[in-house]
Amino acid sequence: MPLKKIILHRLMMRMIDPFATSFGTMQDKEFFIIEALDTDGNRGFGESVSFPIPWYTEETVKSNKDIIEDFLIPILRDNEIEHPNEVFPLFGRLRGNNMAKAAIEGAIWDLYAKREGIPLATALGGEKTEIDVGISIGIQPTMDALLTKIDGFLSQGYKRIKLKIKPGHDVEMLREVRKAFPTTPIMADANSAYTLDDIAMLKQLDDLNLLMIEQPLQHNDIIDHAKLQKEIQTPICLDESIHSLYDAQKAIELGSCKIINIKVGRVGGLSESIKIHDYCKEHGIPVWCGGMLEAGVGRAHNVAITTLSNFVLPGDTAGSSRYWEKDIIKPEVVVEDGVIKVPTSPGIGYEIDEEALEEFRIQKIEYDL
């Protein structure tokens, strides 16, 4: 691929509602859109999903910029790339920094699919024409507010509800929700808020018929999760602990989880996501696509990867309007009856809304390749 230039667009967007988890509350989202240009005038787009504060993983918006500028751009300058599958191995000499790597790789995948004239989903080997989606609801100030939120999202058609939990806001809250919504597919996400000392509480969740509990224990752990999974019936889904195919293999071998949440940024990109997907499929482990409160570009990538066949559980890829007054793509991602129709035009299948990009942009940096 005749790569010509990489552009970093640093954006600041305000979410309609604050999003509260066990690790903190977010409303203003600062992130990068990465644009990859070739010498033929094609433009591919990726999105970096790191947050300004390193409370989900160790990466930050600033660390992403440094890694991209100091290491990833020089690698792109020094190497010819025929296919996007070559990008992650080229970056492989550098440890970690998966979100920085994934943002660049994602832009190159989009560029590749556009050059081939095929949808990104097709380029990735996906076959679904529409995907099922659920919704992740942050911790709410009151029980009434929470029940109203759930009701509203169910009437919009979302196929499963994910509720954030933390110590003191867990089993009783979930019991009340289960009472109000006896048959709704519900799951809980702890974002690493518990330890094995909390096993008595975690066992009580078994009565609530939850689809799964996501990342109850420490963010890099697979040992204690294996111990916990032996003690509880609720399937454990790992999020934070899985950074690579290697992690997925070890977690499955140990019995640390029965389900895996794949986030493209967390695992270093689409190529590694496909590998994890394939390995999980061979080993009978269902996967679903997690979210990082993405704007339209990252959202479009999530839609594309979810078209692979083992994404059998509804993901967190909600519609643009759940987060943003105005998104940066045209059309926006729309959810109807709990499904998103997969776009059929080349690449990510959504156009960049150039006016919106400019409106939200706080910095633009260009790197010639």
Residue ranges binding ligand OSB (CB under 6 A): 56, 136, 189, 191, 239, 290-293, 316, 318
Would the CA dihedral through 108, 36, 329, 324 be positive or negative? positive
Q: Which does 292 bind (CB under 5 to 8 A by kind): Mg ion, ligand OSB, none?
A: ligand OSB
Min separation Cβ 80 and ligand OSB, Å: 35
Min separation Cβ 116 and Mg ion, Å: 33
Min separation Cβ 285 and ligand OSB, Å: 18
State which of positions 249-268 bind Mg ion (CB under 5 A).
none
CA distance 305 to 340: 13
Rg of the chain's alpha carbons, rounded to an integer? 20
Q: Which does 56 bind (CB under 5 to 8 A by kind): Mg ion, ligand OSB, none?
A: ligand OSB
Q: Which of 65, 164, 166, 275 is catalytic?
A: 164
Query: Is 364 a known active-site residue?
Result: no
Residue type, position 209, single letter: N
State which of positions 173-192 bind Mg ion (CB under 5 A).
189
Contact 361, 295 (CB under 8 A): no
Question: Binding-site residue total for Mg ion (CB under 5 A)?
Answer: 3
Which lies closer to ligand OSB via its Cβ, residue 114 or residue 164? 164
Min separation Cβ 21 and ligand OSB, Å: 6
Residue 332 DSSP SS3: coil
Query: Is 5 a known active-site residue?
Result: no
CA distance 326 to 332: 8
Q: Give CA 316 to chain center in angstroms.
A: 8
Q: Based on the shown chain and the rule CB under 5 A, indicate whether residue 47 belongs to the binding site for Mg ion.
A: no
Interface residue with Mg ion among 105, 110, 132, 239 (CB under 5 A) is 239
Three-state SS string over 255-305 comes to: CCCCEEEECCCCCCCHHHHHHHHHHHHHCCCCEEECCCCCCHHHHHHHHHH
Binding site for Mg ion (CB under 5 A): 189, 214, 239
Residues taking part in catalysis? 164, 263
